[in-house]
């Protein structure tokens, strides 16, 4: 993505300065605790972390100050996406990651910039400049800037205020903001005057033009992103949404038609309060009329962690919809997150044995089944939905009513 000089200047100005006058009373504390206090005072309700030297101390301090449980993630892409889903859902969130972990999450990072967020979303990226705790000497700042996220590089004494300002900037621009810090500074003592940010002004509303990444919408979404970063009004004619499946490209129509009976049942069961995350695949086309079944989508395999974030934001009727190839590629990592957090997520997997969106590449025998074998007590099957609509609705309704993680495998021709 290319940004004009004026857009870059606007982002720079929005990120400079403090959000409001500080409280007159300042106290000395370690930078670790100052950053944690900024997350608490910003009202961040969902904060994720993958353990790393120097980084996790900030997350632990946040949990100690806020009373939130210390739930660590295993994969940085999942951790980042959970926080992003929560920010779309309308609560402030943060991901606390080491620089190498941020690089691992880059697929989700670049998609989160285009999809944007409702409430403030800040990623704290900790650089190990000495290289003492890293497998490689990684030049962090150029990489972070290359993602095109607005970036703040605070001095230790300004970190508290800059983290608060990053949340405000994220909400003004409706994009994530990266705050890059040196993990070797965390033991330094700084002076902090604590204050609370007011609650986010915006609430989540379904908007597939904003939150759903799909090739048909990409040119329009790029223009919207450039306008947001430049602080300009969002103008321009929205593209017409296709009628599914008839107005899809011919190469996708056959697969989409095979999905129709499942989505007809899903539309009737999910409920008006449902919020559903998809990922980049043929199934995400069912976000469009007359189905309107999917509300947001980012990277391939990202629907499950995105839906976890939605659940944590208070959207308890949260669903994830994915294809089997996307689930094998990355989606299964999100199931681990759902299990350890005890989230009764509902996951619908369209199972046809191949990658429909990229030319029909086959899943090798038994791979899909092996990945699901650890969750056999949570699996329900929809067989022959095209011939037995009542049975499909029954399976989905039972899963929805369940108070636990449910994985619905819909076998399609």
Q: Facing residues of 278 across strands?
A: 297
Residue 355 pLDDT: 81
Contact criterion met (CB below 8 Å) for 296 and 250 = no
| Element (DSSP H or E) covering residue 227 | helix 218-229
pLDDT band at 231 (very low <50, low <70, confident <90, very high): confident
Six-digit token pair at 304? Answer: 């499950």
**At 10, is the pLDDT very low, low, confident or very high (cuts 50, 70, 90)?**
very low
369: helix, strand or coil = helix
Better-predicted residue by pLDDT, 361 or 334: 334
213 Cβ neighbours under 8 A, 6+ residues apart: 111, 114, 115, 221, 280, 297, 298, 299
Residue 327 CB contacts under 8 Å (≥ 6 apart), including other chains: 301, 349, 368, 371
Structure tokens at 395: 């399976």
> How far is the CA of 326 from the CAs of 80, 87, 279, in angstroms?
18, 23, 8
pLDDT tens figures, 34-52? 999 999 999 999 999 999 9
Average pLDDT (19-31) is 71
Q: What is the pLDDT of residue 131?
A: 61
Helix locations, 276-407, DSSP H: 303-312, 324-326, 332-341, 367-372, 389-401
Question: ω into residue 245 within 30 of 0, thus cis?
Answer: yes
User: pLDDT tier at 359 (50, 70, 90 boundaries)?
Assistant: confident
Coil, strand, or helix at residue 174? coil
Question: How does residue 132 score in pLDDT terms, banded at 50, 70 and 90?
Answer: low
Q: How confident is the model at residue 18 (pLDDT cuts 50, 70, 90)?
A: very low
Local structure of 69: helix, strand or coil: coil
Closest CA to 82 of 114, 44, 56, 55: 44
Would you place residue 291 in the very low, low, confident or very high pLDDT band (cuts 50, 70, 90)? Answer: very high
Q: How far are the Cα atoms of 118, 148, 312, 356 from residue 115, in angstroms, in the given order?
A: 10, 13, 19, 23
- Supply the pLDDT for residue 137: 73
CB 19 within 8 A of CB 120: no
Q: Give per-residue pLDDT as tens, 49-105.
A: 999 988 999 999 999 999 999 999 999 999 999 999 999 999 999 999 999 999 999
Interatomic CA distance for residues 202 and 196, integer angstroms = 18
Question: What separation in angstroms does the CA of 39 have from each of 36, 113, 225, 275, 341?
Answer: 5, 21, 26, 26, 21
Mean pLDDT confidence for 126-150: 84
Can you tell me the distance from the alpha carbon of 161 to that of 213, in angstroms, rounded to the nearest whole number?
Answer: 33
Q: Which of 72, 46, 36, 65 is nearest to 181 (CA)?
A: 36
The pLDDT of residue 7 is above 70 = no
Rounded Cα distance, 343 and 412, in Å: 27
- Residue written as tokens 């993680």? 405
pLDDT band with cut points at 50, 70 and 90 for residue 17: very low
Mean pLDDT of 91-120: 97
Lowest mean pLDDT among 228-237, 338-347, 353-362: 353-362
pLDDT at residue number 236: 79
C-alpha closest to that of 326 among 360, 349, 293:
349
Mean pLDDT of all residues in the chain?
91
pLDDT band at residue 20 using 50, 70 and 90 as cut-offs = very low
pLDDT band, very low/low/confident/very high, at 133 (cuts 50, 70, 90): low
| 296 in Cβ contact with 66 (< 8 Å) | no
Across 113-129, average pLDDT:
95
pLDDT, one tens digit per residue, over 267-281 is 999 999 999 999 988
Question: The tokens of 383 are what?
Answer: 């067989």
Mean pLDDT confidence for 149-160 = 97
The answer to whether 229 and 9 have CB atoms below 8 angstroms apart is no
Picking from 199, 217, 215, the residue whose alpha carbon sits closest to that of residue 207 is 217
- The pLDDT of 282-293, averaged and rounded, is 96
Could you give the CA distance from residue 265 to residue 390 in angstroms, rounded to a whole number? 8
Complete edge-to-edge strand list for the sheet that includes strand 318-323: 296-298, 275-279, 318-323, 346-351, 406-411, 379-382
Task: Please count the other Cβ atoms lying within 10 Å of the Cβ belonging to residue 402.
Answer: 13
Cross-strand pairs, 355? 361
């Amino acid at each position: 993505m290319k940004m004009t000089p004026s857009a870059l200047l606007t982002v720079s100005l929005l990120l400079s300065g403090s959000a409001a006058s500080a409280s007159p009373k300042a106290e000395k504390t370690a930078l670790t605790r100052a950053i944690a206090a900024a997350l608490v005072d910003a009202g961040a309700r969902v904060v994720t972390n993958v353990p790393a030297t120097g980084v996790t101390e900030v997350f632990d301090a946040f949990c100690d100050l806020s009373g939130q449980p210390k739930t660590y993630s295993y994969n940085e892409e999942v951790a980042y996406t959970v926080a992003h889903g929560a920010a779309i859902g309308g609560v402030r969130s943060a991901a606390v990651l080491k620089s190498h972990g941020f690089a691992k999450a880059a697929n989700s990072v670049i998609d989160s910039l285009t999809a944007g967020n409702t409430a403030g979303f800040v990623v704290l990226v900790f650089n190990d400049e000495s290289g003492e705790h890293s497998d490689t000497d990684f030049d962090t700042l150029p990489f972070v800037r290359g993602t095109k996220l607005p970036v703040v590089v605070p001095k230790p004494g300004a970190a508290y205020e800059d983290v608060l300002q990053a949340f405000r900037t994220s909400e003004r621009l409706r994009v994530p903001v990266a705050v890059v810090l040196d993990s070797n500074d965390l033991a330094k003592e700084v002076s902090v005057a604590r204050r609370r940010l007011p609650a986010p002004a915006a609430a989540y509303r379904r908007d597939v033009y904003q939150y759903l990444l799909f090739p048909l919408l990409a040119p329009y979404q790029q223009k919207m992103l450039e306008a947001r970063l430049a602080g300009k009004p969002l103008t321009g004619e929205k593209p017409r949404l296709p009628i599914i499946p008839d107005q899809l490209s011919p190469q996708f129509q056959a697969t989409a038609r095979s999905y129709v009976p499942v989505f007809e049942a899903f539309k009737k069961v999910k409920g008006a309060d449902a919020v559903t995350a998809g990922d980049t695949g043929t199934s995400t086309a069912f976000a469009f009329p007359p189905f309107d079944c999917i509300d947001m989508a980012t990277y391939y395999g990202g629907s499950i962690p995105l839906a976890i974030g939605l659940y944590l934001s208070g959207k308890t009727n949260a669903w994830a919809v994915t294809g089997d190839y996307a689930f094998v590629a990355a989606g299964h990592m999100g199931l681990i997150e759902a299990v350890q957090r005890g989230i009764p997520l509902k996951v619908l997997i369209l199972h046809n044995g191949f990658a429909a969106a990229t030319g029909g590449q086959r899943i090798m025998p038994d791979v899909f089944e092996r990945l699901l074998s650890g969750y056999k007590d949570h699996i329900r099957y929809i067989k022959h939905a095209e011939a037995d609509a009542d049975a499909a609705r029954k399976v989905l309704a039972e899963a929805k009513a369940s108070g636990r993680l449910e994985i619905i495998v819909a076998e399609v021709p």
